[in-house]
């Protein structure tokens, strides 16, 4: 079984009491923003929480009838997850930076 690790993903939806949906966002080479969605089966963190998840990967092929006809796609599922809440990175990492200045009498 393949293992997967998803980092800094946002919990966007609960699936009854059995699982939840994670979303990650990234930019392509062309600068377009893309969203990946992952279905995780297990304990539910709060909606809006940012988490890191590790678990067993499974992929199911699904389809539905859309305006353009039949749409087929692969849905990624994570089973047997373990997750750890991860703090959001600060908007400005230098905001709380306090340089340490030591004057030991050196000429430079």
* The pLDDT of residue 88 is above 70: no
Higher pLDDT among residues 108 and 47, named by residue: 47
Q: What is the DSSP letter of 81?
A: E
Question: Where do the structural domains in the chain lie, given as residue ranges?
Answer: 3-85
Inter-residue contact 71 to 39 (CB < 8 Å): no
0.95 surpassed by pTM = no
What sign does the dihedral 60-11-34-5 (CA atoms) show?
A: negative
Give dist(CA 27, CA 42) in Å, integer.
29
pLDDT at residue 100 in the model = 53
Provide the token pair at 100: 């340490």
Could you tell me the fold of the domain covering 3-85? OB fold (Dihydrolipoamide Acetyltransferase, E2P) (2.40.50)
Partners of residue 93 on adjacent β-strands: none
pLDDT, one tens digit per residue, over 3-22 is 988 988 999 999 988 999 99
């Amino acid at each position: 079984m393949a293992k997967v690790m998803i980092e800094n993903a946002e919990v966007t939806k609960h699936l009854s009491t059995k699982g939840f949906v994670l979303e990650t966002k990234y930019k392509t080479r062309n600068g377009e923003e893309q969203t990946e969605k992952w279905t995780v089966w297990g304990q539910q963190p709060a909606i809006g929480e940012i988490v890191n998840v590790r678990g067993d990967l499974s992929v199911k092929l699904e389809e539905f009838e859309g305006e353009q006809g039949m749409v087929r796609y692969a849905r990624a599922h994570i089973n047997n997850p373990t997750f750890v809440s991860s703090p959001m990175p600060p908007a400005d990492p230098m905001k709380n930076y306090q340089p340490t200045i030591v004057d030991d009498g050196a000429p430079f």
